[in-house]
């Protein structure tokens, strides 16, 4: 297990850019402002609609819900008065572009769902331009480990790059078993992962709304799967394995809550937000169980003390 200080610089964006839309689960309209941030800031969400403008760092430590999305909260276990719901698509886009430091200001409690993918966020951020910064990016290369819970299974192996092999298996003729392997870089992400949309089954929609979820969902921002057809307006998928690719998109966003990019191969089956966050916690436990310091004789590597 090692931390690497790479030759790559940290990145932010050149200027503020804005995206507006409706939240998937809350149905609330939201103005999403992406703003440049200094080195070593990481990604932080700011609730601009609240008087105190509370700041929620993008970290697994404040994940409060993983029901149909990943929610960050401040305020304790019982009330969670300050929340930002469904952050994974935004975080996935930032990871895909290699953005390390950013302020994400929201004027509601959930970012826009856009078209159900990360592509609109990618286009908005690209319009701002990327800015290389003066400090290097650090990576975490974990030791081999596994996570199992029910039918979910994740295997982590150290590697020289981040590789995600994601398998889903639905007893449905339009989905079935799909496996997608993703090698993490910006070109691959924009072309192969960012356009993949979130999905649900048509029979779930009414039940989700009764739970107060999917209040902003529509055929414009999700792939709705019926017994024998796709209900969204295009009546088709963007990729034959769009469902597995979207699960990869979600996994990448959730993994970013570790707070440091990974050099690992992760083989994952029957993934979901809860399992993703549990895996992040397991990786963080590796980190905290071993005390690291910067080796002054070789500042390219963080070594175990």
Task: Enumerate the active-site residues.
Answer: 273
Cα–Cα dist 31/8, whole Å: 32
Beta bridge mates, 282: none
Angle between helix axes 242-255 and 88-97 (nearest 10 degrees) is: 80
Contacts of 129 (CB under 8 A, 6+ apart): 13, 14, 15
Is residue 169 within 8 Å of residue 177, measured between CB atoms? yes
Beta bridge mates, 2: 141
Long-range own/partner contacts, residues 240-243 (CB < 8 A, 24 or more apart): 241/178, 241/179, 241/180, 242/196, 242/197, 242/199, 243/168, 243/170, 243/175, 243/178, 243/196, 243/199
Cα–Cα dist 104/56, whole Å: 10
**Residue (of 235, 34, 268, 61) closest to 151 by Cα position:** 268
At 7 the three-state DSSP class reads strand
Scan for tokens 């401040």, then name that residue.
Answer: 74
Scan for tokens 């990576």, then name that residue.
Answer: 139
């Amino acid at each position: 297990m090692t931390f690497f200080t790479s030759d790559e610089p940290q990145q932010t964006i050149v200027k503020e850019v804005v995206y507006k839309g409706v939240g998937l689960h809350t149905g609330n309209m939201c103005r999403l402002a992406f703003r440049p941030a200094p080195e070593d800031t990481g990604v932080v969400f700011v609730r601009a609609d609240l008087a105190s403008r509370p700041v929620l760092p993008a970290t697994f430590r404040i994940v409060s819900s993983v029901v149909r999305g990943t929610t960050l909260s401040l305020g304790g276990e019982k009330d969670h008065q300050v929340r930002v719901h469904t952050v994974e698509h935004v975080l996935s886009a930032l990871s895909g572009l290699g953005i390390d430091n950013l302020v994400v200001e929201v004027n509601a409690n959930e970012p826009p769902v856009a078209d159900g993918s990360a592509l609109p966020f990618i286009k908005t951020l690209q319009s701002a331009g990327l800015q290389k910064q003066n400090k290097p990016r650090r990576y975490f290369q974990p030791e081999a480990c596994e996570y199992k819970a029910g039918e979910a299974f994740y295997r982590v192996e150290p590697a020289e790059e981040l590789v995600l092999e994601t398998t889903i298996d639905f007893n449905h003729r339009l989905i079935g078993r799909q496996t997608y392997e993703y090698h993490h870089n910006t070109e691959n992400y924009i072309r192969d992962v960012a356009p993949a949309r979130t999905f649900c089954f048509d029979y779930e929609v009414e039940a989700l709304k009764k739970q107060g979820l999917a209040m902003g969902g529509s055929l414009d921002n999700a792939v709705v799967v019926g017994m024998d057809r796709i209900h969204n307006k295009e009546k088709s998928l963007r990729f034959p394995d769009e469902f597995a690719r979207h699960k990869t998109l979600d996994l990448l966003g959730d993994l970013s809550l570790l707070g440091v990019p990974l050099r690992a191969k992760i083989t994952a089956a029957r993934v979901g937000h809860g399992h993703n966050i549990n895996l992040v916690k397991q990786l963080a436990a590796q980190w905290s169980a071993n005390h690291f310091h910067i080796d002054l004789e070789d500042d390219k590597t963080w070594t175990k003390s």
